[in-house]
Structure 1
C-alpha cells in the first residue's frame, strides 16, 4: 500500500468545469466517494493537488477556488490537504504541474516519502509532476487527454475506481 495518494481535482475527482468558482457546479466522477473511502479504510492518506490558472488570469478568485475545494471536501472528503497552484502557465513557478513543487510540498506536509506516494490525474502534467517529484503516477484519461499523454504514462486506468483498484492491488 502506498502511504499517500495525491489526486488532481478537475477531471479526476470531479467533472471538469473550466475555471469553476461555483461550488454548486461540483459533480463527483462516478464511484469517487466509494473509491476514496476504500483507500481511507486501508490507511492511505489523501490530498488534492490542483492547478488553478484561472486565479492568475482573473477568471476566478482564490476565495472561489477555496469554496469549490470545500465542496469537494464535503462531498468526497475528508482530505488531509488541498494544494493549489494559482499561477498561469507562463509564470515560471515551481508549483504548477508538471513541475514537481506541489507534489513535493504535499508529501512534505503529509510526512511521506514521494517514492511511497501515488499521484492520480487525467493529463500528462499530473504524470509529469509525479515523476519529477519521485512519486508514482496513474493516468485516468478523459476526452481532453491527448493520445501522446496516454502513450507516455507508466500506468493508465479507465476510471478513478479502476485506478484505486490498481493501487489497492499494488500495481503502482
Structure 2
C-alpha cells in the first residue's frame, strides 16, 4: 500500500506574508492565492502540511503557546475558505536563542534539517515519491532535499498561480 501524497508548505513568505516574527492576529495576512492554492491541492488529493521554523520562541519574542495559537488561527482562516491544512509542524528552537529551553545548537527539526518533514511522513503515512515542498528560503529547499522530496522556491506573487504552473495546469 502506498502512502498519501503531500505538499509541505513553509508558513511565513509562502502561506502568509512575512511581517517579521508574526504571532498576533493583526499580523495575519494570507499571501494572495493562498486559500485557492490549498483548495486546489486538497482537490487533487494532497495532504497540505505546514513546516515552519519559529525562532521567535527561542528569541523570547513570543511563547510556544502564542505560536501554537497563531498556527491554529491560520488553519482556521484557511478552513473558513474551504482550504484544509492537515497538519502543522513548527520548530521553536534556535542556536542563538534567549529562552534556555529552546536553545539548541542544531535541532533536527530546524530547517535546513529535515526533521519536521520526516516526522510528518511517518505520522501521516505520506508517500515522499508523490510529495513536494514549497518554500521561500534556501533552507526550505535544503530540508526538502535532505528528506528526499522535491522542493520548489516561491518568490512571492500569487501562490495559486505558482501551484498551477508547478502542476502543469
Pairwise TM-score range, normalised by the shorter structure: 0.7 to 0.9
Q: Does the 8 Å contact 2:49/2:87 carry over to 1?
A: yes
Distance in 2 of aligned mates of 1:164 and 1:89: 33
Normalization by structure 2: what TM-score? 0.84
Report SS of the residue matched to 1:16: coil
Output the CA distance in 2 between the equivalents of 1:83 and 1:89: 19
Q: Does 1:59 align with 2:69?
A: no
Instruction: Identify the structure with bigger relative contact order (alpha carbons < 8 Å, sequence gap 6+).
Output: 2
Give runs of ≥4 in structure 1 deviating > 4 Å.
none
* TM-score using structure 1 length: 0.83
Aligned residues: 154
* 2:111/2:143 contact within 8 Å kept: yes
Q: Which residue of 2 aligns with 1:146?
A: none
C-alpha distance in 1 between matches for 2:152 and 2:95: 23
Deviations 1:46-87 (A, max 9, x none): 110000001111111111111111121112232111000110
Any conservation in 1 of the 2:33–2:161 contact (CA below 8 Å)?
A: no
Matched, 1:76 2:90: no
Contact kept, 8 Å, 1:5 with 1:46, in 2: the verdict is yes
> Paired residue for 1:12?
14
One of 71, 74, 95 as aligned partner of 2:109: 95
Instruction: Name structure 2 gaps, 5 residues minimum.
Output: 97-103
RMSD: 1.7
Q: Is the 8 A contact 1:20 1:60 kept in 2?
A: no
